[in-house]
Amino acid sequence: MRVLVVEDDHALAEVIAEGLRDQGMAVDLAHDGLAAAAKLDLASYDVVVLDRDLPGLHGDTVCQMITDRAARPMVLMLTAASAPGDRVSGLTLGADDYLAKPFHFPELVLRVHALARRKPDARPRTLRAAGIELDPVRRIAVRDGRQLVLSVKEFAVLEALLRTSPGFLSAETLLEQVWDENADRFTNTVAVTIGRLRRKLGDPPLIATTPGIGYHIA
């Protein structure tokens, strides 16, 4: 899952980003509205965590820019003020959920997950395919009754593959979906991660390769 955090307080932004990364999300940062707009053009996000009080372009404006689009990410608006009116106008502007600072971090995580599930191309609570059962929120993966111990990246790759099943995912697309903007495009880290994932998945082989096309769940 790919998330954009828009927050002018650098320290807070880092805290949020790190916390979400621990959850296996690919997180990009923007510290003002303009940077956010640029990043939104460069990648497609599942969720945007958006501070309402931004320098330059106001959060409300950014929110409208996002929600004007056809295929848009879900927006979780953060606000310092807790005036009840804010909630209303925020939602009116098209934010999909609302969270007042200060907030408990676990709640932020929960809401981001919940928003991702509400997306039009929604992801079900648990993904199932070919003897695999995967719970993205609780981060549990089971194959044939046996629980798998996966690293953050391995889990994210497996989730992406299951979501796309029975379709294909190229290494390039996986880089976009699972890694963040700092990923080197000419690396073979995807191949390595797939390899490690395959080993943990055990037999029979679950992930198949079609040279020149990508990976898919067999």
Partner DNA sequence: GAGGACTTAACAACAGCATGACAACGCCGC
Partner DNA sequence: GCGGCGTTGTCATGCTGTTGTTAAGTCCTC
Separation CA 143–CA 139 (nearest Å)? 14
Q: Does 100 bind a copy of itself (CB under 8 A)?
A: no
Cβ distance to a copy of itself smaller for residue 11 or 149: 149
Q: Write out the DSSP string of 30-83.
A: ESSHHHHHHHHHHS--SEEEEESS-SSS-HHHHHHHHHTSSS--EEEEEES---
Residues 6+ apart with CB under 8 A from 69: none
CB of 200 to DNA, least distance (A): 9
In a 10 Å sphere around its CB, with 0-12 CB exposed, 13-18 middle and 19+ buried, how is residue 97 labelled? Answer: middle
Residues that bind DNA (CB under 7 A): 149, 151-154, 171, 179, 183-184, 187-189, 191-196, 198-199, 209-215
Q: Does 98 bind a copy of itself (CB under 8 A)?
A: no
When binding is defined by CB under 8 A, the residue of 18, 38, 80, 124 that contacts a copy of itself is 38
Q: Work out what residue 179 binds among a copy of itself, DNA, none; the CB cut-off runs from 5 to 8 Å by kind.
A: DNA
Token pair belonging to 92: 């009116």
Q: Does 23 bind a copy of itself (CB under 8 A)?
A: yes
Separation CA 191–CA 60 (nearest Å)? 41
Residue among 81, 8, 85 nearest 49 (CA): 8
> Which residues 157-176 are close enough to bind a copy of itself by CB under 8 A?
164, 166-168, 172
When binding is defined by CB under 8 A, the residue of 87, 101, 119, 139 that contacts a copy of itself is 139
- Applying CB under 8 A, the residues found at the interface with a copy of itself are 23-24, 38, 41-42, 44, 110, 113-114, 117, 135, 138-140, 147, 149-152, 164, 166-168, 172, 185-186, 208, 210-213, 218
